[in-house]
Amino acid sequence: MLGIVGLALALRLTAAAETPQSAHPASPLTVEITSPLGRTGISGPVRIVARIGTSQRVALSPVQFFVDGKLVGERKDGPPYAVEWTDDNPYEAREIAVEVSDSLGNTARDVVKLKPLEVAESASVSSVVLEPAVLDATGRPVNGLTATDFHVLEDGVPQTIDMAIPDAIPATYTLLVDSSQSMSRRLDFVREAARELPNHLRAADQVIIAPFSRTLGAITGPTKDRDTIGGAIDAIQAKGGTAILDSLAALADQLSAVPSRHIIVLITDGYDEDSTVKFETSLAAIKATHATVYVVAIGGVAGISLDGEELLKRIATETGGRAFFPYREFQLTDVHGLIASDVQDRYVITYTPSNQTLDGTFRQITLTTNNPTHKIRVRSGYRAPAPPPVRPQLELTFRDLNRQFVDIGAGDLVVVEDGVEQKIEGFEEALTPVSIVLVLDASGSMKKGAAQVVAAARSFVQALPENDSLGVMQFADKAVLVQDLSTHREASLEAIDQYQAAGGTALYDALVDALARLKRADGRRVVVLLTDGRDENNPGTAPGSIHSVGDVLTSLKDAGATLFSIGLGTQVDRPLLEQLALVSGGESFFPDDVSSLDANYHRILENLRRRYIISYTSTNSTRNGAWRSVDIKSTHSGIVVESKGGYFAPVKGGGH
C-alpha cells in the first residue's frame, strides 16, 4: 500500500473517442463526424464538424447536431456542416450525434462518445505498508515485537522503519467464489462454509461477495450485514466455464475504488479454462491493490490438477497470503476461522523508501527479524508509481500543393514521434481565443511607407475575432509595448495611430519582449512581425539589440508561441525570418512593397482560422526537456501537413 503525500492534480487526457455506434455501409447517404473525436483537455467552445456524402443529386434536410440527445444546432446551407458547442464540463461524458436525411427518404446518423477527463494523482513514493505474519519454529504467531526487532531491505538496500505495531486496521474481505459448472457438486457446501466467515470478523471488518465463472457476476457489498452476505451467497448458481485470472484482474479494478485493507478469499477448484489475461498481468493487477490473497482450493467434479495447484499457491504466496487444500468437507468449515486468525495475528509496518524515483518498476522487499528462526509471510514487493504520461498537443494546418487550405479528419493522419507511430486521442478545430502581439518595425527606413503600414495594421485589427486579445509593440532603437493585450479594439487602433518611424532596428529585443509578455497569457499565443530590415543600429555599424538570435529561439520555446513574419523589401534577414516561422509552426511572407501588406495580414488571419489541434499520449514518458521530432503526414497524396515539427518534452515536476 502506498501512502500519498503532496497530491498534484493533473488532467489526464482520455483516449480517443469510442468507436462510433454506426458503421458506414454502402449507402446513397452517409454522415461522418470528423471533429471532435476526443477531448484535448481544453474546455470552452468546440466546433462539431460533419462530412456528408451522397451519391445522387438530391435535396438534403437540415443537418442536425445533438449533444446528449439535445439539439444544439443545424445547418442547411451546404458544406461545411458545422456548429459550435460549449463543452462546459469536460469531466462528464458526452454523446455527440449528427443526423441527416434526403428527399428520397434515406437517412444517416453518426455518433461519437466523448469520455470524461479524469483527475489523476501524481505522487511520490511516500510510504510503503507491510502486513507480515511472524511465526515461530512451531508455526505459532509471535507477539510483542517492536520496530527495533524488524529489518527491511528494498532491492537489497536497508530502509528505515517508521512504525511497527500489532495489526489493528479494519479489513474488507472479498469472497471470490467460483460459480462455474465444475463446482456444481460442491457449491451447496461452499455456501454453508462461507456463512462461517462473518462469525470470525471484527466489528469494523466488511465483506464483499463476488461470484465468477467466465466473468464476474453480480457483486454484493461491501457490507457488514449478515443477512445480506447470506442472501448473496444463496443466490450463487453454478453454470458456465471458469476464468480465474480474468476474474482476479476484473476484481482488482473493482477493489481499486474501495479504500481499505483488502483480503481476497478465492474459493475455486483451480480449473481455469477460459481466461484470456495472462498470469503475470492478473497478478500485477492484484498486487496494485495491495491485497492479500487466501486461496481455498476445493476438489470439484474432477479434483484439482497439479497445474491448478501450482497456480493457486503462487497467487497466495506472492501476495503474502496462504493456500488451503482441505481434503475433507468438515475441514472447509474451519478454513475461514484460520484465515481471519491469520489476518488478525499480523503486524503493520511502514517505511519511507530511500528510492523516490517514479519509474514504475517493481521493488523487491525482504523482511527479517532479529531471530533467524522466525518465519515471515509478507508480500514480495510493490510497484512504484509510474511517471505521469506525456501528452503533447500540436497545432496543424492542411494545404494542397497549390498552398490552398483543405479540411481533413484524424483518420487521414499518421503521427510519428522520434520514429515511433503514435495513436491520436484528440482532434478538433483550434477555436480557443488567441493572444497576439503585433510587432511593428518603426525604424527610420519605414518612414516612406508609414501611412500604408498604419492602414494595413488597422485593417488587421478590425478583422480579428472579438474574443482574441491583441497587444501592439513598436520597435526602433528600443522596443516599446504601446498597447498591452486587450480585446478593446479602439485602444489598439489608437496605439497603431501613434506609429512614427525613426532610428535603428532592435529586432531581437522586440521579439524577446513580445514573447515574454505572451508567456504570461493563457491559451494560444501568436507573434505577428512586420519589418523591413535586419537587427542593427541606426548607422548600420553594429547590432541593434542587446539580445541575440539564440535568445529569440529560447523565448519561442519557453512561450510556446507561433510566429508569423512579414519581411518587407530586399534588406530583411530572410533566412532568419523563415527559420523563426518554421520552428514555431508559423508562416513567412516577403512582399516587395507596402501595397501587399493588407493581403499578407489577411493570409495570416486565414491561417489562424484554419488550424486544428491533435493530442496523444506519447509512448515515451521520459521527462527530460529534450526536443522530440514529430512527423505528421496525411494518408492522401497531395496534402501537406504544417506544424512546429515537434515539441520539447516536459521536465520532471513540470506539466504535460
Q: What secondary structure does DSSP assign to 120-162, as a single string?
A: EEE----EEEE--EEE-TTSPBP----GGGEEEEETTEEE-EE
DSSP states along 262-278: EEEEEEE-----S--S-
In whole angstroms, give the CA distance from residue 653 to residue 135: 43
Question: Is pLDDT at 288 greater than 50 in this prediction?
Answer: yes
How many domains, the chain? 5
Q: Looking at the predicted structure, is the pLDDT value of residue 409 above 80?
A: yes
Q: Are residues 424 and 442 in the same domain?
A: no
Report pLDDT for 30.
Answer: 92
pLDDT at 309: 81
Q: Place 407 in a pLDDT band, splitting at 50, 70 and 90.
A: confident
Q: What string of H, E and C letters represents the secondary structure of 392-430? A: CEEEEEEEECCCCECCCCHHHEEEEECCEEECEEEEEEC
Per the domain annotation, does 215 fall within a domain? yes
Nearest Cα neighbor of 639 from 428, 401, 394, 396 is 401
**398-424: b or e for each residue (b if 16 or more CB lie within 10 Å)?**
bbeeeeeeebbebeebebebeeeebeb
Q: How confident is the model at residue 17 (pLDDT cuts 50, 70, 90)?
A: very low
Q: 610, 585 in Cβ contact below 8 A?
A: no
What's residue 513's pLDDT? 97
Query: In terms of domains, do 486 and 586 share one?
Result: yes
Q: Which of 469, 478, 549, 565 is nearest to 517 (CA)?
A: 469
Does the residue 388 lie in any domain? no
The CA distance from 96 to 34, in Å, is 11
Give residue 20's pLDDT band: very low, low, confident or very high (50, 70, 90).
very low
What pLDDT is stored for residue 484 in this prediction? 96
The pLDDT of residue 8: 26
For CA atoms 22, 26, 29, 30, the dihedral sign is positive
> 107 pLDDT exceeds 80?
yes
- Using pLDDT thresholds of 50, 70 and 90, give the confidence band for residue 27: low
C-alpha cell at 148: 527495533
Task: Determine which of 66-75, 296-305, 574-583 has the lowest per-residue pLDDT on average.
Answer: 296-305
Q: How many helices (H) and strands (E) does the chain have?
A: 12, 39
SS3 349: strand
Which helix (H) or strand (E) segment holds residue 494: the answer is helix 489-497
Q: Which three cell numbers stand for residue 313?
A: 499457491
Higher pLDDT, 330 or 189: 189
Residue 52 domain-assigned (yes or no): yes
Count CB-CB contacts under 10 A for residue 23.
7
Which candidate, 292, 399, 426, places its Cα nearest to that of 13? 426
Percentage above 90 pLDDT, the chain: 46
Q: Read off the pLDDT of residues 69-106 as tens digits, 9 standing for 90 and up.
A: 999 999 888 887 888 888 877 778 899 999 999 988 89
Give me the pLDDT at residue 621, please: 86
> Is pLDDT of 302 > 60?
no
104 is written with which cell numbers? 428520397
The span from the CA of 439 to the CA of 557, in Å, is: 18
DSSP state, residue 468: S
Indicate the pLDDT class of residue 12, thresholds 50, 70 and 90.
very low
Q: Three-class SS of residue 217? A: coil
Q: Is residue 656 part of a domain?
A: no
Average pLDDT over every residue of 451-474: 94
pLDDT of residue 44: 59
Residue 4 in domain? no
Q: Which domain holds residue 410?
A: 393-429+614-648
Neighbours of 16 (CB within 10 A): 20
At 330 the pLDDT is 60
| Same domain? 375 vs 404 | no
CA distances from 175 to 188, 249, 256 (A): 15, 15, 16
167 pLDDT above the threshold of 90: no
State the average pLDDT over residues 282-290.
86
- Same domain? For 217 and 203 the reply is yes
Decide the pairing of beta strands 44-54 and 29-35: antiparallel
Span 180-193, average pLDDT: 79
pLDDT given at position 118: 60
Asked if residue 37 is part of any domain, the answer here is: yes
Mean pLDDT for the stretch of residues 165-189 = 83
Q: Which three cell numbers stand for residue 51?
A: 462530412
Q: Find the helix packing angle between 450-463 and 597-609, rounded to 10°.
A: 20
269 phi, psi to nearest 5 deg: -95, 0
pTM here is: 0.55
Whether 422 and 482 share a structural domain: no
CA pair distance 509, 474, nearest whole angstrom: 11
Residues 247 and 326 in one domain: yes
Q: Cis (ω within 30 of 0) for the bond into 222?
A: yes
The answer to whether the beta carbons of residues 428 and 40 sit under 8 Å apart is yes
Residues 463 and 543 in one domain: yes
Q: Which pLDDT score is estimated for 336?
A: 72
Residue 161 sits in the same domain as residue 175: no
Whether residue 202 sits in one domain with residue 60: no
Q: Which of 625, 620, 626 is nearest to 653 (CA)?
A: 625
Are 223 and 175 part of one and the same domain? yes
Question: How confident is the prediction for the chain on average, in pLDDT?
Answer: 85
Distance CA 531, CA 570 (A): 11
Comparing CA positions, the residue from 32, 75, 69 lying closest to residue 50 is 32
At residue 22, the pLDDT reads 41
Give the phi and the psi of residue 607 in degrees, each rounded to 5. Answer: -60, -45
Do 150 and 290 lie in a common domain? no
Please report the DSSP string for 103-130 in residue order. Answer: TTS-EEEEEEEEPPPEEEEE----EEEE
**Strand blocks (E) in 213-260:** 220-223
Contact 89, 83 (CB under 8 A): no
Q: Grid coordinates standing for 49?
A: 464538424
* Residue linked to cell 508609414: 450
Residue 454, judged by CB atoms within 10 A of its CB (0-12, 13-18, 19+), counts as middle
Q: Is residue 53 part of a domain?
A: yes
Task: Report which of 571, 542, 602 is spatially closest to residue 441, judged by C-alpha positions.
Answer: 571
Contact 20, 111 (CB under 8 A): yes
CA distance 347 to 367: 12
CB 176, CB 267: distance < 8 Å: yes
pLDDT for 58: 86
pLDDT at 229 over 70: yes
Residue 653 within any structural domain of the chain = no
**What pLDDT is attached to residue 328?**
63
- State whether 442 and 575 are in the same domain: yes
User: What is the distance between the alpha carbons of residues 547 and 275, in angstroms, rounded to a whole number?
Assistant: 64
376: left (phi over 0), alpha (psi -120 to 50) or beta: beta
CATH number of the domain encompassing residue 583: 3.40.50.410
Range scoring the smallest mean pLDDT among 70-79, 216-225, 421-430, 508-517? 216-225
Cis peptide leading into residue 353 (ω within 30°): no
With cut-offs at 50, 70 and 90, classify the pLDDT of residue 122.
very low
DSSP H helical ranges for 279-434: 279-288, 306-318, 329-344
